[in-house]
Amino acid sequence: MTQLIIISIYLALLLGLGFFSSKLFRGTSKDYMLASHSIGPFMLLMSLFGTTMTAFALVGSTGESFKEGAGVYGLLASSSGIIHSLCFFVLGVKLWSLGKKHGYTTQIQFFRDRLESDRIGILLFPILVGLIIPYLLIGVMASGTVINSITEGAFTTAFAQYDYGVPPWLASLVICLVVLIYVFFGGMRGTAIANTAQTIVFMILGLITFVIVSDKLGGLEESTNKVLAKNPSKMIRSVDPQDTDSYEDGYKKWIVLAQYEYAKKHKGLALDPADEKAAIAAFPIAGPAGYLKKTRGPAIFAKKAGLLSNLSILDQNLALLIQDNRYEIPNDKGVLDNRISDSSVMAHHEIMSFPRLPGADREGLTIFAQFVGHPTEKAASGKGTKWTRKKAKGVFRATHWAPDPPHGMDPWKFLTYFFVPLSVGMFPHLFQHWLTAKSAASFKLAVVAHPIFIMIVWVPCVLLGVWMTSATDPISGAPIIAAHFPPNAVLPAAVKALTGPLMAGLLTAGILAAIMSSLDSQFLCVGTMFTTDIVSHYAGKNRFTDKQLITIARVFIVLIVALTYLFSLFEPRRVFTLGVWCFSGFSSLFPLILASLYWKRLTKLGAYAAILAAAGSWIYMFADANYAANANYTVFGVMPVATMITLTTIAMIVVSLITPPPSKETLEKFFPAEK
Amino acid sequence: MNKRCGKCIIIGLVCLLIVLHHDIWNWDNKDPVFGFMPVALAWHAGISIGASLVWYLATRIAWPTFDDDEPTSSMTSEDA
């Protein structure tokens, strides 16, 4: 309950900040959308940084390094330090100058002018809004997951199916409403003030929590030594032979378990009760609730006694797929999936090419029903407390599914990740933030400090994710985070397990600060784009009063947030994977913004070709990757964004060169002779 | 130093950062730096610090000049 109280106080303070900033609001749409170009260096740094660091940076980086190891920092953080500042320097300052000179508020206004095309706005508007939605989704989803994990057990009887914590759907809804309220009251100025405050909050609380957590784990060196001993591949970007041996051993044992469970269920195998009892007693590791003893012991006995030797190749393959919850035998046995071989035992990577059945881990709730209850209630055995539903599902996954094969980072994939941070050049909400700057010199602090700020946030998160692969409970010796744990929940679970309720509550406020400091800018931006690029543009600038325009912006924001919220109720994806797809879409349009500022020969039709190539390739690859469900999707062995950018660039250059150049007036306007 | 020369230096340093970022030589190195930091993390934290220094230099020797006092227009050209 302490955590819930702290979160509630923090959200109330944020609303108070919104009311305070509304007092500074000058009542014009320009002030609402651009804070009247009044933001100085410090607030510009904090709002740009707060906007780019979202759930992706905290929840996503911790979860991803838990899965992939320490190399995650190099994948996106250090490259972002170079590329983000490059974008601020090369694009931001120049766009600010043009925006101030010609009165732009949105990217589409700039593109319409530069490309001498009114209809380019109609093409770009749905693409930009469409790409913002998954970005919003990351924050909305993550806030629900974090609040639910941290508040487990806060209620005595309510929300049992959510482990007596705040349900994710309710938590996400509250976060959306709080952000909507302070954005509505304060506009861009309120957003910049809130971003600055929240960025300070999440950086300070993040560092304090890191110190406390590392101390609880036995110190910096001790935490790392555990990883070196148990999961050395998480320290490097290749595979350590120790992990390969451990995986091969674990996979062989898992095959025996899979065959035994299959033979029991589908071939009528039943051990003699005395043999079964002896086999269970002989297995050395009890596991949670003695489950390992009960399942692995009899499986080994059956294997040694030759009771599994009569399984056909097809049966063996079906056993693996079913045990890993990737396949169910249809009622009509004659129509088995034709990818299931009946002539050779399928390799693990072939098994993994079948996606896991959604919600398969719910079986854990049935198997461990007697252990599940209120997380503060004493367990029937007298040892510890009752399990949460999440734990029951987690134990099921860890004991039922095949071990993950260790895998390194492909150097080409690592190299092409460099294209992902280019997305910053095309983020509409960042464009809007750039235009709030008081002067070109205001950008200097953001350009210089941004890489260091990224380091301050990402290094502790990545270290924590790596440590959690091997951290054990000091009392029970059990892993704090089990195998196959949902990556989005690693950070809140670690904080909850290793800190007291007060710190857990404070850090959650910090995580929410990071999430909300991105959501607010995005909310404001979609509203601004709609009123500026669609409503004012087509209805005429004087058709609506400033007050009416602000109301229209608010209505559109509510519609987009409602749509995003609905999406968040469906099956969750890995925050990191979804983020990379969203950023890839924006990155694929990077050649367009760069060329429009630095290449005189860019033409209207060249721009159309670039946008269509970017949108077409993104949609095709996103669908091919099963809508982000395939987290390891590549094209020609490299990140899909590399192919998208290549196609966009080729289309833009070729079509521009074969179509008439822009008019002399446009060239003089955007490429004036240097003084 | 003229601005063109400054820009060339910054372009060169950014290219150097990009090359150093692809630290293939650290791929298998699991010896922790300072006893706790994975090399894969420590090296790239160094890249972040290097990037900050390069961008600081950029603000000193390659910063574009703008006339901050230009009047702010409230209309786009198409409105006009």
pLDDT at B78 over 60: no
CA distances from A427 to A299, A430, A478, A593, A673 (A): 55, 5, 44, 11, 29
pLDDT at B47 over 90: yes
Nearest-by-Cβ selection for A77 from B18, B39, B48? B48
Q: Is the pLDDT higher at A73 or at A547?
A: A73
> Do A580 and A418 touch, CB atoms closer than 8 A?
no
pLDDT tier at A31, thresholds 50, 70, 90: low
Long-range contact set of residues A213-222: C-beta below 8 Å, sequence gap at least 24: A213/A464, A213/A494, A213/A495, A213/A498, A213/A499, A214/A463, A214/A467, A216/A474, A216/A498, A216/A499, A217/A467, A217/A471, A217/A498, A218/A474, A220/B34, A220/B35, A220/B36, A221/B32, A221/B35, A221/B36
> Does residue A295 sit in the same domain as residue A262?
yes
Q: Does residue A623 lie within any of the structural domains?
A: no
Query: Which one of A366, A400, A434 terminates a domain?
Result: A400
Alpha carbon of A75: minimum distance to chain B alpha carbons (Å): 9
Give dist(CA A596, CA A608) in Å, integer: 12
CA distances from B31 to A409, A470, B49 (A): 18, 17, 21
Q: What residues make up the domain containing A308?
A: 241-400
Which residues from chain A sit within 8 angstroms of residue B76, using beta carbons?
Answer: 102-104, 109, 112-113
pLDDT at A543 over 50: yes
For a pLDDT cut of 90, what percent of chain A falls above it? 26
pLDDT at A235 over 50: yes
Contact assignment for B28 to A238 by CB distance below 8 Å: yes
pLDDT at A455 over 80: yes
pLDDT tier at B80, thresholds 50, 70, 90: very low
Q: What is the pLDDT of residue A181?
A: 83
For chain B, domain boundaries = 3-25+33-61
Q: Does residue A669 lie within any of the structural domains?
A: no
| Mean of all residue pLDDT scores within chain B | 82
Residue of A41, A43, A54, A44 whose CA lies nearest to A454:
A54
Radius of gyration over every alpha carbon of chain B, rounded to an integer in angstroms: 20
Tell how far CA A506 is from the center of its chain: 22
pLDDT at A443 over 50: yes
Contact assignment for B77 to A77 by CB distance below 8 Å: no
> Does residue A469 sit in the same domain as residue A392?
no
Tell how far CA A577 is from the center of its chain: 6
DSSP A360: G
Q: What is the mean pLDDT of residues A352-356?
A: 87
pLDDT tier at A225, thresholds 50, 70, 90: very high
Could you give the maximum distance between any two Cα atoms of chain B, in Å? 65
pLDDT at A224 over 80: yes
Q: What is the pLDDT of residue A29?
A: 65
Q: What is the pLDDT of residue B79?
A: 37
Neighbouring CB atoms inside 10 A of A85's CB total: 28
Which residues from chain A sit within 8 angstroms of residue B34, using beta carbons?
Answer: 220
Q: What is the mean pLDDT of residues A612-626?
A: 90
> Does residue A173 sit in the same domain as residue A211?
yes
Nearest-by-Cβ selection for B41 from A109, A451, A459? A459
| Mean of all residue pLDDT scores within chain A | 85
| Inter-helix orientation angle A291-304/A389-400, to 10° | 20
Q: Is the pLDDT higher at A36 or at A639?
A: A639
Contact assignment for B21 to A79 by CB distance below 8 Å: yes
pLDDT at A285 over 80: no
For residue A232, what are its two tokens?
């050395």
Contact assignment for B38 to A224 by CB distance below 8 Å: yes
Which residues from chain A sit within 8 angstroms of residue B18, using beta carbons?
Answer: 82, 418
Contact assignment for A104 to B76 by CB distance below 8 Å: yes
Which residues from chain A sit within 8 angstroms of residue B73, using beta carbons?
Answer: 101-103
Which residues from chain B sit within 8 angstroms of residue A112, using beta carbons?
Answer: 76, 78
Q: What is the mean pLDDT of residues A498-522?
A: 81
pLDDT tier at A412, thresholds 50, 70, 90: confident
- Residue in B with minimal Cα distance to A411: B24
Nearest-by-Cβ selection for B52 from A94, A439, A452? A452
Q: Does residue A664 lie within any of the structural domains?
A: no
Residues A64-93: tens digit of each pLDDT: 899 889 999 998 899 999 999 999 999 998
Q: For the domain that residue A492 is a member of, what is the CATH number? A: 1.20.1730.10
- Most confidently modeled range among A55-64, A494-503, B23-32: B23-32
Alpha carbon of A5: minimum distance to chain B alpha carbons (Å): 36
Contact assignment for B27 to A236 by CB distance below 8 Å: yes
Q: Does residue A657 lie within any of the structural domains?
A: no
Give dist(CA A589, CA A648) in Å, integer: 7
| B interface test, pick of A53, A236, A667 with most B CB neighbours within 10 Å | A236
For residue A374, what are its two tokens?
């209120």
pLDDT at A344 over 80: yes
Q: What is the mean pLDDT of residues A181-187?
A: 76
Q: What is the pLDDT of residue A437?
A: 81
Instruction: Write down the residue that tokens 């060249």 correspond to.
Output: A606
pLDDT at B67 over 70: no
Q: Does residue A615 lie within any of the structural domains?
A: no
Q: What is the mean pLDDT of residues A373-394?
A: 82
Give dist(CA A163, CA A496) in Å, integer: 14
| A interface test, pick of B7, B11, B13, B44 with most A CB neighbours within 10 Å | B44
| B interface test, pick of A83, A230, A448, A468 with most B CB neighbours within 10 Å | A448
- Most confidently modeled range among A153-162, A442-451, A634-643: A442-451
Contact assignment for A411 to B22 by CB distance below 8 Å: yes
For residue A160, what are its two tokens?
């049992």
> Does residue A388 sit in the same domain as residue A450?
no
pLDDT at B73 over 50: no
Contact assignment for A81 to B52 by CB distance below 8 Å: yes
> Does residue A170 sit in the same domain as residue A300?
no
> Does residue A245 sit in the same domain as residue A341?
yes
Which residues from chain A sit within 8 angstroms of residue B26, using beta carbons?
Answer: 237
Q: What is the pLDDT of residue A618?
A: 92
Q: What is the pLDDT of residue A320?
A: 93
Angle at A233 between CA A248 and CA A454, to 5 degrees: 150
Give dist(CA A156, CA A151) in Å, integer: 12
Sign of CA dihedral A456, A432, A72, A510: positive
Which residues from chain A sit within 8 angstroms of residue B65, using beta carbons?
Answer: 675
> Does residue A363 sit in the same domain as residue A452?
no
- Residue in A with minimal Cα distance to B15: A82
Which residues from chain B sit within 8 angstroms of residue A220, using beta carbons?
Answer: 34-36
> Does residue A150 sit in the same domain as residue A292?
no
For a pLDDT cut of 70, what percent of chain A falls above it? 95
Give dist(CA B80, CA B75) in Å, integer: 7
pLDDT at B76 over 50: no
pLDDT at A408 over 50: yes
Q: What is the pLDDT of residue B74?
A: 41
CA distances from A91 to A123, A648, B70 (A): 22, 18, 19
pLDDT tier at A578, thresholds 50, 70, 90: confident
Q: What is the pLDDT of residue A333?
A: 61
Give dist(CA A434, CA A357) in Å, integer: 45
> Does residue A263 sit in the same domain as residue A389?
yes
Alpha carbon of A106: minimum distance to chain B alpha carbons (Å): 11
- Residue in B with minimal Cα distance to A80: B48
Alpha carbon of A454: minimum distance to chain B alpha carbons (Å): 8
Alpha carbon of B67: minimum distance to chain A alpha carbons (Å): 9
Total domains in chain A come to: 2
CA distances from A646 to A249, A581, A590, A642 (A): 43, 16, 11, 6
Q: What is the mean pLDDT of residues B27-52?
A: 92
Question: Does residue A635 sit in helix, strand or coil?
Answer: strand
DSSP string, A486-541: -GGGHHHHHHHHHS-HHHHHHHHHHHHHHHHHHHHHHHHHHHHHIIIIIIIHHH-T
pLDDT at B77 over 50: no
Q: Is the pLDDT higher at A630 or at A257?
A: A257
pLDDT at A97 over 70: yes
pLDDT tier at A573, thresholds 50, 70, 90: low
